[in-house]
Amino acid sequence: MTKQKIGLILFWIAVIWAILWGVIGSVFVDSAFRNLTMDEVNQTRWATTGPLYLLWAFGVPLGALVAGIGILLYSSAKSLTIWKCGIGIFLGIIIGMASGFLGHTPPLFGIGGTLILLFFIGILWLWAKERMALKDAPTTAADLKLVGYVFMLIAAWFICGIASIPFLKALEGETPSTPLHVMIFLVLGWLFLFLGHYKSRQQ
């Protein structure tokens, strides 16, 4: 079996795996956590220390990692590149999850938010340079990606606001509003990034 075929098989297995756990989470896990107390949840198959809950919690991240490796194989990336990307993503997931043991550390949120904003500004600057270099070439793909980047930053801003509510004394006891607007911004961000890549392929 060729490297490309193995990569394609890994990619589709990972995609199905991620979608499966995403759907299970939306239908079953969400229902349990919305309608039951934590004690009652822990008496069900979705107990937070049980294997099904852990499979769901890490289902999409694991699927994303394997899909990324699979698509690298499919695109004939060098073995060293695949290893570096795979290990890099895996370590990023481990570090991100392990950071939960630090507890709530407000300065880290400020540093993280500042870095996100700086990276966004850097992306826009580099994007402008790339777009100017296109000259007479079609620029639709680049423009679509720009819209995606903007929506992603807007989503990150509102996610920060919602996630901070439980840790702000001034808002103690407040019920957070629905995060539907965040979901809309995320969907739009991913949509325009997808359309940008799709248009790049056509061009």
Contact 162, 111 (CB under 8 A): no
Which pLDDT does position 203 carry in this prediction?
A: 65
Are residues 128 and 163 part of one domain?
A: yes
Give the pLDDT confidence score for residue 107 in this predicted structure.
Answer: 86
Q: Read out DSSP for 58-124?
A: HHHHHHHHHHHHHHHHHTT--HHHHHHHHHHHHHHHHHHHHGGGG---HHHHHHHHHHHHHHHHHHH
End residue of a domain, out of 57, 80, 103 = 103
User: From CA 76, how far away is CA 68, in angstroms rounded?
Assistant: 13
14 & 24 share domain: yes
Q: Pick from 158, 150, 161, 148: which is nearest to 183 by CA? A: 158
User: Count of residues for the chain?
Assistant: 203
Q: Which two tokens stand for residue 21?
A: 């756990």
Tell me: do 160 and 194 sit in the same domain. Answer: yes
Residues 2 and 97 in one domain: yes
From 70, 103, 136, the end of a domain falls on 103
Domain that holds residue 155: 104-203
Q: Can you tell me the distance from the alpha carbon of 160 to that of 117, in angstroms, rounded to the nearest whole number?
A: 12
Same domain? For 5 and 77 the reply is yes
What residues have CB less than 8 Å from 91, skipping those under 6 apart?
A: none
pLDDT for 122 equals 96
Q: Are residues 11 and 78 in the same domain?
A: yes
The pLDDT tens digits of the residues spanning 135-191 come to 767 888 999 999 999 999 999 999 988 888 777 777 777 777 788 999 999 999 999
Low-confidence ranges of the chain (pLDDT < 70): 136, 202-203
